[in-house]
């Protein structure tokens, strides 16, 4: 997968040099390219913003640098057609299902806004040449799209074959399509068996794998009911067995 990130703060993305994603980049599994939007400005101050039409507080990102940046980056014709992702509080909620869907894309471009956002015509103009998605990572407001882009890139990248050592763990993730659809994970434990008087649930030390799987599903249902009743309401009743309904 190729990932292009356009931002006025390229240094925000040094975390993508670390850990499993850094390793995946170095092995060529993921091709991440950072672009400083100011490269497409020509005035002395490398201006990327201006006052909002219609008045109001703050500044809006000018369309010209974005248009030129996207033109140059997407001119790479042999790379196919990219999907443009615009993180924004007003976007569609980004979910694990979106991460699974976007992990299948060959090329993503992330446009990191700042100030009050990017001139709306940038998305309209880009949509004439590529699919465009406005995505929100949650109902809270950040100062820019960089942190949201890091979140989305990590959620997608970890699903790519070869990035995580243990592919099994993906299937047991919270929200993972299939057995964990609309469920969050239950508690996890490791050694020692007793720590500060707190015991690991004995079932987990029993070696009875069917019973352990049942216990883990019960705990996932309990935790989901406690922390995410909104997800419980969305559970497909067909996906619940008799035991699930008793939890």
Assess whether 238 carries a catalytic annotation.
no
For residue 192, whether the previous peptide bond is cis, meaning omega lies within 30 degrees of 0, is yes
Nearer to ligand JCZ, 88 or 182 (CB): 88
Span from 48-56, 87-95, 182-190, 208-216 in contact with ligand JCZ (CB under 6 A):
87-95
CA distance 81 to 30: 17
Nearer to ligand JCZ, 114 or 217 (CB): 114
CA distance 142 to 157: 22
- Cα radius of gyration rounded to whole Å, the chain: 22
Span from 141-149, 165-173, 191-199, 235-243 in contact with ligand JCZ (CB under 6 A):
141-149
CA distance 69 to 5: 11
Assess whether 116 carries a catalytic annotation.
yes
Q: How far is the CB of 79 from ligand JCZ (least distance, A)?
A: 25
Measure the CA dihedral 53/57/61/63, to 10°.
-10
Q: Which of 192, 194, 242 is nearest to 217 (CA)?
A: 242
Assess whether 72 carries a catalytic annotation.
no
Nearer to ligand JCZ, 148 or 184 (CB): 148
Binds ligand JCZ by CB under 6 A, chosen from 80, 138, 192, 201: 138
**Residues interacting with ligand JCZ, by CB under 6 A?**
87-89, 113-114, 117, 136-138, 140-145, 148
């Amino acid at each position: 997968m190729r990932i292009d990130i356009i931002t006025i703060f390229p240094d925000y993305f040094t975390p993508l040099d670390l850990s499993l994603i850094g390793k995946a980049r170095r092995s060529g599994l993921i091709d991440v390219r950072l672009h400083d939007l100011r490269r497409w400005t020509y005035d002395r101050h490398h201006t990327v913003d201006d006052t909002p039409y219609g008045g109001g507080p703050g500044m809006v990102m000018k369309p010209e640098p974005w248009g030129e940046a996207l033109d140059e980056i997407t001119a790479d014709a042999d790379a196919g057609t990219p999907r443009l992702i615009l993180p924004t509080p007003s976007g569609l909620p980004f979910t694990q299902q979106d991460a699974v869907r976007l992990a299948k894309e060959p090329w993503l471009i992330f446009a990191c806004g700042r100030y009050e956002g990017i001139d709306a015509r940038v998305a309209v103009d880009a949509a004439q040449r590529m699919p465009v998605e406005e995505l929100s990572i949650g109902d809270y407001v950040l100062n820019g799209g960089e942190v949201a882009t890091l979140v989305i890139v990590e959620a997608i990248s970890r699903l790519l074959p070869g990035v995580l050592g243990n592919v099994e763990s993906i299937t047991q993730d919270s929200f993972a399509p299939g057995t964990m659809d609309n469920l969050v994970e239950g508690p996890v434990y490791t050694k020692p068996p007793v720590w500060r008087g707190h015991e690991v649930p004995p079932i987990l030390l029993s070696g009875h794998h069917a019973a352990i799987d049942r216990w883990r599903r019960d705990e996932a249902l309990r935790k989901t009911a406690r922390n995410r009743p909104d997800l419980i309401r969305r559970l497909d009743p067909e996906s619940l067995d008799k035991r699930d309904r008793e939890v």
